[in-house]
Amino acid sequence: MIEAPFFTVLMPAYNAAPFLREAVDSVLAQTFTNFEFLIINDGSTDETAAILESYSDPRIRVHHQENQGVIGALNKGLELARGTYIARFDADDVCYPQRLQVQHDYLLQHPDCVLLGSASDYIDEEGNFIFEWQPVANDHATLSKAVLSASPFDHPTVVYPRELALQLGGYPRGAIHFEDHLFWTHFFAAGKTANLSEPLIKHRFNPQSVTIDEKWRGPVFKEIKYRAIREGKISETDAKRLKELLQSQDLKHFKDAAYHALMGKKYLWNNFQPQKARKHLRAAMRITPGRNEPYLLYLISFLPKKLIAALYQKLKN
């Protein structure tokens, strides 16, 4: 019998051609080598399939399917995976070479850990460094409280046992755009959770895949999401309401505006480059002129750096 690999690196890909080769190459360059690389091509219509088929590395397994969305792709990946642990990754991000080795060593030293994430270096669409994201919590006790108010894990950094993930039912269908956050709530009763403070990936912001700020989604989205987080599940009624809401929002102009607004905030709050911030905020205002936030942030960008930093800390607290 062939021994199962320690990790299955699970990566869904949908129309990921612009960034795909860099993502794949970063996984293949890992210093830890006992892994399989399972890629779910979720009905891509660009060059994604051709790029994936150009690889001959035996560690790569590609599953092509009709488009089912990221939840369907991830659950198919859990079904097909052979590894003891799932190592999540996204098709527009970049793994640092030591990523799997660091997480492997932690899991061996902490066998009761069932969910492990890490810090990330966030980059923009062109690959420029923006800021280092540090988790809101690192230890299990603090994470178990933090998960009720915000997702304390950066999804493409996490690793978890495959069998446990299947026992927990996989990624919750219907919880679109917060399937990971709701999924994490199911792990806390099964063992310990943790975050590493070392950044293990470069997490890329781009308009096609960026998670849209909850403030842009509006109060109905937040109402549905946090009711599901509290209850540990999403009702059929809420899942239907959520789908209808997202269908009205997930349009190109909305996603582009949300991306530029987010980039404006990051270049203002996290990496003080006010000229870049204003460039993105002007784009957000041009696309969706009726939203107030970009105008306010644009005005704030002209304040002195120390005052902006103080304002940011006040808002965070």
C-alpha dist (Å) from residue 98 to 26, 27, 202 = 10, 10, 12
189 lies in the same domain as 299? no
pLDDT tens readout for residues 152-178 = 999 999 999 999 999 999 999 999 999
Is residue 95 domain-resident?
yes
Number of domains within the chain: 2
Angle between helices 252-265 and 293-300 (to 10 degrees): 30
Classify residue 28 by burial, with Cβ atoms within 10 Å: 0-12, 13-18, 19+.
middle
The verdict on residue 215 lying in a domain is: no
Q: Is the model more confident about 36 or about 1?
A: 36
Q: Which of 91-105, 179-193, 251-265, 291-305 has the lowest mean pLDDT?
A: 251-265
Same domain for 177 and 259: no
Average pLDDT, the chain: 94
Opening angle at CA 165, ends 105 and 51, nearest 5: 75
Q: Does residue 273 share a domain with residue 174?
A: no
Taking residues 190-199, report their average pLDDT.
Answer: 98
Look at residue 213 and tell me if it is in a domain: no
Residues 168 and 303 in one domain: no
**Rg of the Cα trace of the chain?**
20
pLDDT band for 2, please (50, 70, 90 cuts).
Answer: low
pLDDT of residue 249 exceeding 70, the answer is yes
Same domain, 52 and 179: yes
Cα separation, 32 vs 27, in Å, equals 10
Strand 192-204 and strand 94-95: pairing? antiparallel
pLDDT of residue 131: 93
In this structure, are residues 76 and 68 in contact, taking their beta carbons and an 8 Å threshold? yes
Bridge partners, 48 (sequence order): none
Residues 306-316 pLDDT 10s: 999 888 888 77
Burial of 133 (0-12, 13-18, 19+ CB in 10 A): middle
Q: What is the CATH number of the domain that holds 21?
A: 3.90.550.10
Considering the entire predicted model, what is its pTM?
0.92
pLDDT score for 278: 96
Lowest mean pLDDT, pick from 24-38, 250-264, 279-293? 250-264
Residue 154 lies in a domain: yes
pLDDT at residue 1, rounded to an integer: 56
Residue range 4-27: mean pLDDT, rounded = 97
pLDDT at 250: 76
Give the residue, 51 or 255, on which the prediction is more confident: 51
pLDDT of residue 258: 86
- 264: which 2 tokens? 């404006």
Residue ranges making up the domain that contains 182: 7-204
Residue showing tokens 């399937």: 179
Ordered DSSP codes for 217-277: H-HHHHHHHHHHHHHTS--HHHHHHHHHHHHHH-SHHHHHHHHHHHHHHIIIIIS--HHHH
- List Cα–Cα distances, 308 to 174, 204, 281, 299, 316, in angstroms: 39, 25, 16, 11, 12
C-alpha–C-alpha distance, residues 260 and 283, integer Å? 6
Query: What distance in Å separates the CA atoms of residue 291 and residue 295, rounded to the nearest whole number?
Result: 8
Say whether both 62 and 183 belong to one domain. yes
- 240 part of a folded domain: no
For residue 97, pLDDT over 60 is answered with yes
Q: How confident is the model at residue 210 (pLDDT cuts 50, 70, 90)?
A: low
Q: For position 125, what pLDDT does the model report?
A: 87
